[in-house]
Structure 1
Amino acid sequence: MSVIPNQRHLFDIPDDVAYFNTATMGPMTTASVEAGKAGLARKLRPWSIQDTDFFADTARLRPLLAQLIHADTDGIAFVPSVSYALATAAANISLAEGQEILVLEDQFPSNVYVWRALAESTGAQLKTITRTGSSTLSDCLLNEIGPNTGLVACAHIRWTDGALVDVATVGKKCRDYGAAFVLDLT
């Protein structure tokens, strides 16, 4: 896995500030702020916005994102929030009674609550995976995925400590067992 170079220049963060609370309130890039200003200015005259403009930006962005993450364009969807996306995923995942839903300890709450509700409504079992000793989060997940796993839900990077999950390896093992794999990539 390669690491991207320092991206600090894209943000308006003073040199003497180290800001880490991005899971709660991440700073926006200066380009995002400019795009937001342009979008707000456009809404000063909403009668000039055509119906076709409503989907134009996402139609342009979906193939770019698909190319970036090596995915199928039709598999890319934009939603207003992670909790909305997770609820949508949960509504479309079939689990049998007794199947396991695996989540990580200290996972962001919106990526736990929806799976608790799904477990309760389907009779599946929610199982929280704890990292032990020198094991990685990926190792701990990989050790638990098996024939009874119906779903693995986690983030690529855990918000509490920055620990990474090897999503390619975990995803492969999920596919090997026919388990759904839901990622929070915020």
Structure 2
Amino acid sequence: MRSGGVAPTTEATLQALRAAEFPVAGQYIYLNHAALGPLPRRTADAIAELAQDFRDRGVLAEAKWFGAIARTRALVAQLLNVSPDDLAFTKNTSQGLNIVAASLPWRPGDVIVTVRGEFPANVYPWLALQQRGVQVRFVKMRHGQICLADLESALQGARLLAISWVQYSNGFRIDLEAVSRLCAQRGVWLCLDAIQGVGALPIDLQATPVDFCAFGAHKWLLAPQGVGVLYVNPRVRDLLQPANVGWLGVEWRDYTAFDYDSPLSASAARYEEGTRPLVGIAGLEQSLRLLLEVGPEPIAAHLLDLTDYLAQRLLERGYSVLSPLEPRQRSGILTFCHAQRSAQELFAALRQARIVGAVREGGVRISPHLYNTREEMDAVLAALPV
């Protein structure tokens, strides 16, 4: 494991943001961003301002806030290194995955590969296709990890791989570059569930192409529930004919006199159907600005530093770490257990000390973010039984 900390200037920046933006840190040691991220102050303030404007002015407030749609789309594009035209706003990860599942041209006998142990959001949209004659083939994890050789074998004759960038239970991160290359070589569509990575780790969808990428914004992106993103690679956009079509997915020639002959939007906005979650989008804009101020690389370095620090000391105290320790397989998630103590007992000890984590797959899952500190990792150690 690595040693050392974040560079002093970055550390100072993170601590300034902690004081200015994260009131939750004054109440709890909050280490559950893999479940739900607390709203930064600027995000909550923007949402409150929007609500007040619509309370006081109704439709007259729209002109002020609708600009957030284009601005937020551009910020997501910057984060992923894609074009804004490749992005559609959704309600959550599940909706994005369901758009993909329902809108591709499946044939009876087609095979979808996914991983046994995936979060159910990335399983049920594919299982639902079995009624159309599509087969779902599962790859088993080995000791909490996904082996590239197992994927390679399972992809024989497959049309799509549905896989998480980061596994929710133990934080295992796939080698996205290798998986992207493997799918390209096999002519297999790659659909990435990225909710446990985006906001915590750098991602570049130009350098590591995928066909589809879906994620909600309420975890590591520190945004409200009810807003998400679907990325559709332009190379497959015309293959993904929307199963659900709405008026906002249309390229209107005249927005004041609707012409029913108007075509679907040429951009990924064709998948947006109807009224967008403006409250969530306005909040997401502010959270993205905060995350981009720091930068994906410094955030990832900080999270790896915190989880390295905690993992090493847990191992020294006789705990078992269920998360991978290989740097390239790491994420912002650290899951651990103890041979003589149940996960519920460990979880309860942490909650007694006002430390917020989660129980997953027989272990305690800790998932810090940019504003958490090494001192808080020490507090975790102090609260756990020996």
**What's the TM-score once normalised by structure 1's chain length?**
0.79
Equivalent residue in structure 2 for 1:46, among 31, 47, 58: 58
Tell me by how many angstroms 1:114 deviates: 0.7
Separation (CA, whole Å) in 1 of partners of 2:77 and 2:24: 30
Which residue in 2 is equivalent to 1:60? 71
Does residue 123 (structure 1) correspond to residue 109 (structure 2)? The answer is no
Tell me by how many angstroms 1:54 deviates: 6.4
Which residue in 2 is equivalent to 1:139? 148
SS of residue matched to 1:13: helix
Listed as ranges, the matches of 1:107-186 within 5 Å are 107-118=118-129, 120-133=130-143, 136-137=145-146, 139=148, 142-144=151-153, 146-186=155-195
The letter of the residue matching 1:102 is V
Tell me by how many angstroms 1:53 deviates: 5.5
8 Å contact from structure 1 (residues 111, 153) kept in 2: yes
Equivalent residue in structure 2 for 1:83, among 91, 94, 97: 94
Separation (CA, whole Å) in 1 of partners of 2:143 and 2:45: 46
Between structure 1 and structure 2, the one with the greater Rg is: 2
Separation (CA, whole Å) in 1 of partners of 2:50 and 2:23: 20
The letter of the residue matching 1:126 is V
Question: What per-residue deviation string (whole Å, max 9, x for no partner) do you get for residues 118-151 of structure 1?
Answer: 2x133222122222258x4262564235341211
8 Å contact from structure 2 (residues 139, 151) kept in 1: no
Separation (CA, whole Å) in 2 of partners of 1:169 and 1:124: 26
SS of residue matched to 1:102: strand
- State the identity as a percent: 24
Equivalent residue in structure 2 for 1:73, among 81, 84, 96: 84
Which residue in 1 is equivalent to 2:204? none
Q: Which has the higher contact order (CA 8 A, sep 6+)?
A: 2
Q: How many residues align?
A: 179
CA pair 164-71 structure 1, distance change in 2 beyond 3 A = same
Tell me by how many angstroms 1:21 deviates: 6.2
Which residue in 1 is equivalent to 2:34? 22
Question: What per-residue deviation string (whole Å, max 9, x for no partner) do you get for residues 37-92 of structure 1?
Answer: 22212221213224x56642121122222222121221111111222111111122
Separation (CA, whole Å) in 2 of partners of 1:93 and 1:54: 34
8 Å contact from structure 2 (residues 50, 65) kept in 1: no
Tell me by how many angstroms 1:115 deviates: 0.6
* Structure 1 segments unaligned to the other structure (5+ residues): none
8 Å contact from structure 2 (residues 112, 159) kept in 1: yes
Separation (CA, whole Å) in 2 of partners of 1:60 and 1:158: 30
CA pair 142-56 structure 1, distance change in 2 beyond 3 A = same
Separation (CA, whole Å) in 1 of partners of 2:164 and 2:174: 7
SS of residue matched to 1:149: coil
Q: Once structures 1 and 2 are overlaid, which stretch shifts more, 150-159 or 89-98? A: 89-98
Separation (CA, whole Å) in 2 of partners of 1:46 and 1:87: 33
Separation (CA, whole Å) in 1 of partners of 2:33 and 2:81: 29
Tell me by how many angstroms 1:112 deviates: 0.7
8 Å contact from structure 2 (residues 115, 140) kept in 1: yes
Separation (CA, whole Å) in 1 of partners of 2:153 and 2:24: 41
Tell me by how many angstroms 1:162 deviates: 0.9
Separation (CA, whole Å) in 2 of partners of 1:141 and 1:183: 17
